[in-house]
A and B are shown apart, each in its own frame.
Chain A
Amino acid sequence: MTKIKTLADLERIKNELRSELDLESGLLNSENAVKIKVGMGTSGIASGAKDVMDFLIEALEKRNIEAIVSQTGDMGYSYAEPTIEVQKPGKDPVVFGDVDIKKADLIIEKYIKLGEELQGVIPVNYQTIDN
């Protein structure tokens, strides 16, 4: 591991991450993959996020869908745990709440595969500070 010594080193890591992600997922270009983040804070895990994550990884693989599933922290929607964020290539991310395995299955089948609009996604209710 090379140590970070300058601000430029940080910039390099930033770019590295992108190619590494590609490598890890075994895909040519991560831009084409569906990106799924599972809210895995304490309360997410307590309400079953781990099972959902395991299911997603397995199911997506079985169903031959190019996807990167990763854990993330608490998204803030305690009333709707577990929550997952799904970003299809070229689209805005969408957050689903109260996701159990059944619902995760529906999300794969309806939203990811067929691109059907789903009612009841959690709307983004905050501004980010980037830009």
Chain B
Amino acid sequence: MITNLGGFKMSQHKQIRIALNNCGVIDPENIKEYIARDGYVALGKCLTEMKPQDVINEIKESGLRGRGGGGFPTGLKWEIASKNHADQKYVVCNADEGDPGAFMDRSILEGDPHAVLEAMAICGYSMGATKGLVYIRAEYPLAIKRLKVAIEQAREYGLLGKKLFETDFDFDIELRYGAGAFVCGEETSLIHSMEGLRGEPTIKPPYPAEKGYLGKPTNVNNVETYANIPIILRKGASWFNKIGTEKSKGTKVFALAGKVKNVGLVEVPMGTTLREVIYEIGGGIENDKKFKAVQTGGPSGGCLTEKHLDTPIDFDNLLAAGSMMGSGGMIVMDEDNCMVSVAKFYLDFTVEESCGKCSPCRIGNKRLYELLDRITQGKGELSDLQRLRNMSLVIKDTSLCGLGQTSPNPVLSTLDNFYDEYLAHVTDKKCPSGECKDLMTYFVIEENCVGCTACARVCPVGAITGEKKEVHYINPEICIKCGACEERCKFDAIIVK
């Protein structure tokens, strides 16, 4: 007899776990389990067998690029920081993870905190820094707890502190807490926030590698970026750079979400196609509806369509397709999603999260949102589409930081890929997917109506009229689109369009 415990569909081995190597495998609160999986061997090797420049060379050769969104070559970043001389330098781990829906950094810190600590120490050695700071949002209590435990244990074992591996290298790590503003994930903003200043970006240059925390050379990397480091050094750059595409090496963790069956964390080699992720790992669209779009790159990414499904995922391809890698959010949409509403949803987020420093982002995004809102209410005009595009392009072109420079992407990519849907909203005042409430009308289908009066009795505003046993009529002027009549009708005589 086979007891059925619920059906999970078989999926194929498209994933390779590097950053998530220990996640869900070891007990994160026991350093020995990390060590049992060769933890801290890379740090030992670096300190005892390699010169700082050797470490940098190895990372450079691996082709690792930043996983925090920008995709900047990590080895090069370390090299720049190593060449800026100062009495004190800092290694910062960006664990702000502000993208809504993204939780890969949290998962890594909760599941494998030592990997990040080890990587930061390695980074410190390579650039000549003795202090590490993890900037983590206060809303991550479990990750904070496990990090604290890990730091304590590493100190106990002499893996953080003075004279690591009996060399002259000292390194220790402290935590800094963020209030959870999205823009505090931007590196200059993050540094200001750590300094106790208002969390808002400043113009680069100077880059953190020249003038960062407290004005000292500072290397900022993302959690996932760091999580790759120990393995690269253990298995070698030439092992790592065989995985992935020509310009994007290794894997990327995605938080797969939306209308897909198997939502969750996935880690795939660069070069895997969107189709493989959505259909093979994700198990396809929920309720077997039709795929409509996939949004990558978080709130500032773009919406890609059917025609992009076979694009191999990497930094450059996603950019070329009008979206971006971002931190690895991936939200799947089906036929029920209205793309104007999707764009509006993301703009709502950016308007909330803008720091307010520069005018195009502070005011422009608000205006974009207002216009999208009007369109979803049927108040848009054809000329508004041109305005939408122009405002979007100018906001991208003139904003100070990455937030404003990318916030119009959802608008531009939906305008590009779903122009007809916008047209339907502004010219026909219709929402093809039926999501925009203001554009729906409730109808009685005359053939089906038996005149039972059930609908008229349930309508809270008295919008339905009709004699007993005769066809009823819904007055669209009065109807508030609550849907009560549709639910009540037993004869499928009421539909919404």
Q: How far is the CA of A74 from the CA of B142 in the complex (A)?
A: 12
- Nearest CB in chain A: distance from B161 CB, A: 8
Q: Which of A73-126 contact B (CB under 8 A)?
A: 73-80, 83, 85, 96-98, 103, 106-107, 110, 116-126
Chain B residues near A120: list those with CB within 8 A. Answer: 4-8
With beta carbons under 8 angstroms apart, the residue of A72, A117, A122 that contacts B25 is A72
With beta carbons under 8 angstroms apart, the residue of A5, A45, A85, A98 that contacts B24 is A85
- CB within 8 Å for A73 and B107 given contacts A79-B263, A119-B4, A125-B13: yes
Q: Is A63 an interface residue (CB 8 A)?
A: no
Chain B residues near A98: list those with CB within 8 A. Answer: 5-6
- CB within 8 Å for A75 and B110 given contacts A6-B44, A6-B165: no
Q: Is A128 an interface residue (CB 8 A)?
A: yes
Segment from A8-16, A26-34, A54-62 that makes contact with B: A8-16
Number of A-B contacts (CB under 8 A): 175
Query: Is there contact, CB below 8 Å, between A72 and B28?
Result: yes
Q: Is B479 an interface residue (CB 8 A)?
A: no
Chain A residues near B140: list those with CB within 8 A. Answer: 42
Q: Is B197 an interface residue (CB 8 A)?
A: no
- Hey, what's the 0/1 contact readout for B142-177 against A, CB within 8 Å counting as 1? 110000000000001111000001100000000000
Query: Is there contact, CB below 8 Å, between B231 and A103?
Result: no
Query: Is there contact, CB below 8 Å, between A96 and B5?
Result: yes
- Nearest CB in chain A: distance from B191 CB, A: 27
Q: Which of B27-65 contact A (CB under 8 A)?
A: 27-30, 32-33, 35-36, 38-41, 44-45, 48
Q: How far is the CA of A116 from the CA of B1 in the complex (A)?
A: 8
- CB within 8 Å for A78 and B264 given contacts A1-B157, A126-B15, A126-B17: yes
Query: Is there contact, CB below 8 Å, between A71 and B14?
Result: no
Query: Is there contact, CB below 8 Å, between B32 and A5?
Result: no
Q: How far is the CA of A123 from the CA of B12 in the complex (A)?
A: 9
Measured CB to CB, the nearest residue on chain A to B13 is A127
Q: How far is the CA of A118 from the CA of B1 in the complex (A)?
A: 9
**By CB atoms of chain B within 10 A, which of A16, A98, A128 has the most?**
A128
B interface bracket (residues with beta carbon within 8 Å of A) = 35 or more
Chain A residues near B281: list those with CB within 8 A. Answer: 125
Query: Is there contact, CB below 8 Å, between B107 and A41?
Result: yes
- CB within 8 Å for A70 and B27 given contacts A7-B44, A103-B5: yes
Q: Is B456 an interface residue (CB 8 A)?
A: no
- CB within 8 Å for A45 and B142 given contacts A74-B24, A106-B3: yes
**By CB atoms of chain B within 10 A, which of A14, A41, A79 has the most?**
A41
Chain A residues near B16: list those with CB within 8 A. Answer: 126-127, 129
Measured CB to CB, the nearest residue on chain B to A45 is B142
With beta carbons under 8 angstroms apart, the residue of B15, B36, B103, B266 that contacts A14 is B36
Chain B residues near A16: list those with CB within 8 A. Answer: 32
- CB within 8 Å for A73 and B110 given contacts A5-B166, A119-B5: yes
Q: How far is the CA of A51 from the CA of B22 in the complex (A)?
A: 23
Q: How far is the CA of A107 from the CA of B16 in the complex (A)?
A: 28
Chain A residues near B158: list those with CB within 8 A. Answer: 3-5
Q: Is B203 an interface residue (CB 8 A)?
A: no
Chain B residues near A128: list those with CB within 8 A. Answer: 17, 21
Chain B residues in the interface with A (C-beta under 8 A): 1-8, 10-18, 20-30, 32-33, 35-36, 38-41, 44-45, 48, 103, 106-108, 110-112, 140, 142-143, 156-159, 165-166, 231, 235, 257, 261-267, 281
19 more contacts with CB within 8 A, not counting A74-B111, A117-B2, are: A4-B40, A4-B157, A4-B159, A13-B36, A17-B33, A17-B35, A42-B103, A42-B106, A71-B28, A72-B27, A73-B24, A73-B108, A74-B23, A76-B23, A79-B261, A107-B5, A122-B8, A126-B15, A126-B267
Chain A residues in the interface with B (C-beta under 8 A): 1, 3-7, 10, 13-14, 16-18, 20, 37, 39-43, 45, 70-80, 83, 85, 96-98, 103, 106-107, 110, 116-129
11 residue pairs A–B, Cβ–Cβ below 8 Å: A10-B40, A13-B36, A14-B38, A72-B24, A83-B24, A118-B5, A119-B7, A121-B8, A123-B11, A127-B13, A129-B16
8 nearest interchain CB pairs? A73-B111, A3-B158, A75-B24, A126-B15, A78-B264, A76-B265, A74-B107, A120-B5
